[in-house]
Amino acid sequence: MTTPRTSFIDTPQRVLLGPGPSDVPARVLSALARPTIGHLDPVFLQLMDDIRSKLKQVFRTNNEMTLAVSGTGSAGMETLFVNCIEPGDKVLIAINGVFGGRMKDVAERCGAAVETIEAPWGQVFDQDKLIEAIKRVKPKAFAIVHAETSTGAHQPVDRLGAACKEVGALFFLDCVTSLGGAPVEIDAWGVDAAYSGTQKCLSCPPGLSPVTLSSRAVAKLDARKSKVQSWYLDLSMVRQYWGSERFYHHTAPINMLYALHEALSIVLEEGLENRFKRHRANHELLRAGLRELGIEYVSQEGHHLPMLNAVKIPDGVDDLTVRRKLLNDYGIEIGGGLGAFKGKAWRIGLMGHGSSRRNVALLLAALRDALR
């Protein structure tokens, strides 16, 4: 007797040129499908150690507290705030897009007294103005987005760590979209706590959030008077599983960690500098092609993200019609606008494995057709 198969859904092979997830290389998909083993298996613990060592290289940090949180990028964001912020702590957040706004929401849910500094969507902040605000507000933590996925703006942040240190503030950095595609210098920039996602320039499926905490951030965690409000994201316990104690906390997402390990291996085999150069080159190529099509960027000139091109939808062009044509006729996904840019912008990702001359050529050809 054969059993009928229930409702098989055939997932298509897309070309993912949106704001993430990005296309995942076959090597990573194969790793994902390796047989599951136990979360306390000696081989798995060795794999975790190797993930940590590779993440430290990719983050360019010596932080011992570097690990993958068992949730997507937003869980990484929440991990920073629930662990390093206590109720009543003053937090300064820079907002020029969706993800800065999300940090404010998350911080407030942790009981933080949030002050904000804002810039128009698509613009970056002048570091001098940020430094001035940090020195004026003297917060317990200052948080900013390195690569605003909603606007395509690439924020310079190299001078902010020193200012934070001067006033005793922790420096939080969202590098969900930049990590593995553009320089992220945790130690050199004096970043105290950062989080990323796996589904952008690391070219791994979504589901994990790499995070790293400096010794100053860990000291803040250790000095807490109150328990971390999230049990699941409590790093004072999670670190005992990732550390030599190997104390059971929650069951790690085993197969996702296989995939992350493989994805990080690919990143390091290519080399970070080569990878950044490739992202930059394909971005320039796409930009030149978009210019020929008369398409402009919404992000500030000179501050475009190399892995995420946020562009204006040309006048008289219908957002959904074009995106549907790209998806249905070409199997290409690009992103629509978020928040203030909804219906006004497209977000074209060239992330990780997906940043290739082939994808640039394909997208330009398809877009030319769709705009005809």
* DSSP-assigned letter for residue 300: P
Any alpha helices (H) in 60-191, and if so which ranges?
Answer: 73-84, 98-109, 127-137, 160-167
Judged by CB, which is closer to its own copies: 23, or 125? 23
Judged by CB, which is closer to its own copies: 156, or 336? 336
Cα–Cα dist 320/328, whole Å:
12
Minimal distance, residue 271 CB to its own copies, in Å: 9
Instruction: Kindly report the number of other CB atoms within 10 A of residue 61's CB atom.
Output: 22
Judged by CB, which is closer to its own copies: 199, or 300? 199
Q: Strands of 308-312's sheet, edge to edge? A: 308-312, 345-349, 335-336
Minimal distance, residue 21 CB to its own copies, in Å: 5
Minimal distance, residue 333 CB to its own copies, in Å: 5
Site for its own copies in 218-247 (CB under 8 A): 227-233
Minimal distance, residue 334 CB to its own copies, in Å: 10
Neighbouring residues of 76: CB distance < 8 A, sequence distance ≥ 6: 69, 176, 195, 196, 197, 209, 210, 211
Residue from the set 91, 256, 260, 348 that interacts with its own copies by CB under 8 A: 256
* DSSP-assigned letter for residue 304: B
Site for its own copies in 78-117 (CB under 8 A): 78, 102, 105-106, 108-110
What is the number of residues in the chain?
A: 372
Judged by CB, which is closer to its own copies: 258, or 276? 258
**Cα separations (Å) of 132 from 92, 139, 142, 159, 328?**
12, 12, 12, 12, 49
Minimal distance, residue 187 CB to its own copies, in Å: 21
Site for its own copies in 24-43 (CB under 8 A): 24, 29-30, 32-39, 41-43
Residue from the set 61, 63, 66, 70 that interacts with its own copies by CB under 8 A: 70
Query: Binding marks (x or -) toward its own copies, 279..298, rule CB under 8 A?
Result: --------------------
Q: How far is CA 233 from the centre of its chain?
A: 18
Instruction: Kindly report the number of other CB atoms within 10 A of residue 132's CB atom.
Output: 13
Minimal distance, residue 204 CB to its own copies, in Å: 9
Stretch that binds its own copies, among 66-74, 119-127, 129-137, 179-187 (CB under 8 A): 66-74
Cα–Cα dist 313/18, whole Å:
15
Stretch that binds its own copies, among 72-80, 278-286, 297-305, 307-315 (CB under 8 A): 72-80
Judged by CB, which is closer to its own copies: 167, or 268? 268
Contact 223, 38 (CB under 8 A): no
Is 330 a residue that touches its own copies (CB under 8 A)? no
* DSSP-assigned letter for residue 198: S
- End-to-end alpha carbon distance in the chain: 54
Residue from the set 113, 268, 272, 371 that interacts with its own copies by CB under 8 A: 268
Residue from the set 58, 61, 67, 71 that interacts with its own copies by CB under 8 A: 71
Minimal distance, residue 352 CB to its own copies, in Å: 12
Judged by CB, which is closer to its own copies: 27, or 216? 27
Neighbouring residues of 335: CB distance < 8 A, sequence distance ≥ 6: 18, 19, 346, 347, 348, 349
Residue from the set 63, 199, 212, 214 that interacts with its own copies by CB under 8 A: 199
